[in-house]
């Protein structure tokens, strides 16, 4: 796993300084923010690999910051002095990849950071796979519709319509789903004259 940029967010300067120094000592590039607003500004600028966020801060809670990180695609872990069920549920709902109860030191934080990074990478791979599958399904659906249109218009069997579509795509040197999309578009344009 490549070295990462960690954004630490905590309004307690002592905790922030102690964790930052410990993480730097083991080779991480660390950025510190003492508020939610500062965290969001840092995140836009430095694009952290992961954020470690205190839940209870003045002005903007860590939960609010977590929701913002989630929308930005930045994985995050929560730190809190509280371990009540309601707070833990809110943290999970916000999308946190970990939840640690303070006081905590770097030796306890490191495995959580490592596990959260692995989980974030896994989620990224799953989203990419989902995107590819959705694209394939759209392409497949478009090809099926185009084959159906050719079958209806030219009174062909499904096999013959597909072969004509494939042959035409080869002749035009274009992708099958691009040609299918064009056929569907042309059919929709003709339908508006009915």
CATH top class, domain 5-104: alpha beta
Q: Does this model's pTM top 0.75?
A: no
Reported as a single tens digit per residue, the pLDDT across 38-89 is: 999 989 998 999 999 999 998 899 999 999 999 999 999 999 988 888 888 8
DSSP letters of 41-54?
HHHHHH--SEEEEE
Inter-axis angle of helices 13-25 and 106-154, to 10 degrees?
80
96-114 pLDDT, tens per residue?
998 999 888 899 999 999 9
- Bridge partners (DSSP) of residue 50 are 6
Which residue in 186, 194, 174 sits closest to 150, CA to CA? 186
- The two domains 5-104 and 132-191 share their CATH topology (first three levels equal): no
Q: Which residues pair with 76 in a beta bridge?
A: 51
CATH topology of domain 132-191: Arc Repressor Mutant, subunit A (1.10.10)
Where are the chain's structural domains? 5-104, 132-191
């Amino acid at each position: 796993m490549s070295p990462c940029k960690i954004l630490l967010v905590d309004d307690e300067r002592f905790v922030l300084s102690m964790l930052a120094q410990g993480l730097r000592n083991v080779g991480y590039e660390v950025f510190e923010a003492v508020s939610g607003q500062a965290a969001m500004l840092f995140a836009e600028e430095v694009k952290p690999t992961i954020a470690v966020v205190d839940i209870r801060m003045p002005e903007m809670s860590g939960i609010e910051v977590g929701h913002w990180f989630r929308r930005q695609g930045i994985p995050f872990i929560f730190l809190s002095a509280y371990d009540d069920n309601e707070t833990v549920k809110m943290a999970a709902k916000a999308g946190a990849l970990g939840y640690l109860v303070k006081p905590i030191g770097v030796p306890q934080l490191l495995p959580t950071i490592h596990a959260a990074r692995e989980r974030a990478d896994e989620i990224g791979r799953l989203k990419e796979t989902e995107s590819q599958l959705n694209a394939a399904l759209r392409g497949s659906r478009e090809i099926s519709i185009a084959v159906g249109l050719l079958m209806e218009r030219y009174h062909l069997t499904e096999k013959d319509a597909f072969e004509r579509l494939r042959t035409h795509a080869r002749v035009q040197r274009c992708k099958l789903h691009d040609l299918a999309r064009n056929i569907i578009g042309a059919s929709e344009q003709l339908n508006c004259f009915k």
